[in-house]
Amino acid sequence: MAVVPGGSGELECPGAGRRVPVPSGAGLARELVRLVLAALLTAVTPSPARIEAMVLRPAGGVCGPADAGPVDAVRVGGTWATELAGTETFTRFVDVQNTRCWLAGCTLDAPEGAQLSLRAAEPLLSVDDLVTQDTARLTQYMHDRGEGEVWPHLVVLGRPEQTAKGGIRLLLAFTEHRLADELICRAIPANGGLR
């Protein structure tokens, strides 16, 4: 069984008789960021009180057509506030034409009197600073590792910083892998698997 794009914003599993709605535009970007922030939450203890993220998303591909403006244009997108596993989140989107992956500058606020710690384990991946100086180097490095153009990791760029009030600031790079994986899992029946 293969998963193929449906004609109306859906994934279709031929033979399974199942269609899964796929969000479009801003909804698709929010869904990806929701999955990324949820994955980040699994690597932080205790749970942060709040996460604020500035997300630079590629203007082409999943975000929309590359003709969204001049190649050197940065377009200010919308904002999105939600709650994930008891943590308040606020995200601002910015569309950037000249990037091969998504970037999220995140500030995680600690609960009153606590200090957050970040586990250096999945889903986070730390690589040498030389690799993370620009997104072209990073994506080529990930490709050379055998990850291809989309990878499942949240790559930590530089060193995370501890804030004066026990929080953490960090910069992440990621691709649409988590979103594609999630949509495929929704489309495939739990007991059926790929055939």
Q: Spell out, as residue ranges, where the chain has pLDDT lower than 50.
A: 1-8, 62-63, 194-195
Q: What's the pLDDT score for residue 112?
A: 94
Residue 7: per-residue pLDDT:
42
The pLDDT, as a whole number, for residue 59 is 76
Q: What's the pLDDT score for residue 120?
A: 78
User: 9: buried, middle or exposed (CB in 10 Å: 19+, 13-18, 0-12)?
Assistant: middle
Q: Write the single-letter amino acid at 193.
A: G
How do residues 34-45 score in pLDDT, each as one tens digit? 999 999 999 999
Q: Look at residue 23 in the predicted model and tell me its pLDDT.
A: 72
